[in-house]
A and B are shown apart, each in its own frame.
Chain A
Amino acid sequence: MDIKYIDPFIQATVNVLDEFFNVKPEVQKPYLLDKDQEHQWDVSAIIGIAGEAKGAVVISFPAELAGILTSRLTGKSVEEIDEDVIDTVGEVVNIVAGNAKKGLEEYRLMISLPSIVSGKNHKIAWPGKNAPVIAIPFKTEFGIFNLSVILENIIV
């Protein structure tokens, strides 16, 4: 499996966490995500990718970490997944997807507006039935979050 096309997404994720939140995440070992498996995340931000490749980029957080990141931007404490949390995680995935395009310039890609799904073991409507989803966990001082990327025609 050629996962070199995942690297722009990893770099963009590290960069946005550092620049935006002053958090330096450690990249953990990537794995193939089982789309039907239960998961531990409370909120996921999703961006669809279209153009010369179809796919999606998803960043999933536990509620506590999403709240900590949000409060770093707003200066207010966060008690639940509210509008500010949704705004924050949406902007994070937007920046990750948009920035990653720079490392994938051989393909002309368009990104959608972010959509947010939350709740215990929430479901994500992954595009592409057969394409693999590559998941990359990131460790931070406040907990672990997950980046998942699916790109039909590119990652096979």
Chain B
Amino acid sequence: MKILVVDDSRIMRNIIKNTLQYMHQKEDEYLEAADGVEALEILLHNHIDLLLLDWNMPRLNGLELVKKLRNIEQFVNLPIIMVTSEAAKYNVIEAIKEGVNDYLVKPVSERGLLSKIKRIFPAL
């Protein structure tokens, strides 16, 4: 599985990657982006199975990227989990309305992250 981790914090990207690598005994491949613009560029040139996406980022934020992606045919069904500090209910509702498949509030726990991924990929 090819996973794109998008977060403007390099340390946070590493934490997410290390958590998944530690829990998943599989040969997953990870790509990284620091904002929505970089992420879109990677998505247009790679087949990505899962997008883990922060909300608050410079240039193009996570929600703006979701809006763009859901209007591009090849990304209509791309699994997206928003991983963000934004914990207010109105933020969760807004993100779901725009088309994210699931929502995880930071700080991220190993169990929380894995359970969200398993909801999208039950066979894992």
Using CB atoms and an 8 Å cutoff, list the residues of chain A in contact with chain B: 15-16, 19-20, 70, 73-74, 83-84, 87-88, 90-91, 94-102, 104-105, 108-109, 111-113
Question: How far apart sit A98 and B87, CA to CA, in the bound complex (Å)?
Answer: 6
Stretch in B9-17, B20-28, B40-48, B116-124 touching the partner: B9-17
**Interface residue from A73, A84, A98 paired with B86 (Cβ < 8 Å):** A98
Task: Please give the distance in Å from A68's CB to the nearest CB on chain B.
Answer: 14
Is the contact region of chain A dominated by helix, strand, or loop, or is it mixed? Answer: helix
26 of the cross-chain contacts (CB-CB < 8 Å) are A15-B107, A19-B107, A19-B109, A20-B107, A70-B11, A74-B14, A84-B11, A87-B11, A91-B11, A94-B56, A94-B106, A95-B85, A95-B107, A98-B84, A98-B85, A98-B105, A98-B106, A99-B85, A99-B106, A101-B86, A101-B91, A105-B88, A105-B89, A109-B88, A111-B86, A113-B57
Q: Kindly name the residue among B9, B14, B85, B90 whose own CB sees the greatest number of chain A CB atoms within 10 A.
A: B85
Question: How far apart sit A111 and B10, CA to CA, in the bound complex (Å)?
Answer: 20
**Interface residue from B10, B88, B90, B105 paired with A87 (Cβ < 8 Å):** B10
Task: Please give the distance in Å from A54's CB to the nearest CB on chain B.
Answer: 17
Task: Please give the distance in Å from B85's CB to the nearest CB on chain A.
Answer: 3
Question: How far apart sit A113 and B107, CA to CA, in the bound complex (Å)?
Answer: 17
Question: How far apart sit A109 and B91, CA to CA, in the bound complex (Å)?
Answer: 10
Using an 8 Å CB-CB cutoff, how does the interface string of B93-109 with A read, 1 for contact, 0 for none? 00000000000011101
Task: Please give the distance in Å from B30's CB to the nearest CB on chain A.
Answer: 18
Residues from chain B with a CB closer than 8 A to the CB of A95 are: 85, 106-107
CB contacts between A and B, total, < 8 Å: 62
Question: How far apart sit A152 and B56, CA to CA, in the bound complex (Å)?
Answer: 23
Given contacts A91-B9, A105-B88, contact A99 B105 (CB under 8 A): yes
B8 at the binding interface (Cβ < 8 Å): yes
**How many B residues have CB within 8 A of the partner chain?**
22
- Besides A19-B107, A111-B86, 5 other CB < 8 A contacts? A16-B107, A87-B9, A98-B87, A111-B56, A113-B56
B window 63-115: CB within 8 A of A: 84-91, 105-107, 109
Closest 5 CB pairs of A and B: A98-B85, A102-B87, A101-B88, A19-B107, A95-B85
Given contacts A105-B90, A108-B90, contact A98 B56 (CB under 8 A): yes
Given contacts A19-B109, A20-B107, A113-B56, contact A102 B11 (CB under 8 A): no
Residue of A nearest to B57 (CB): A113
Residues from chain A with a CB closer than 8 A to the CB of B91 are: 101
CB <8 Å contact, B109 and A73: no
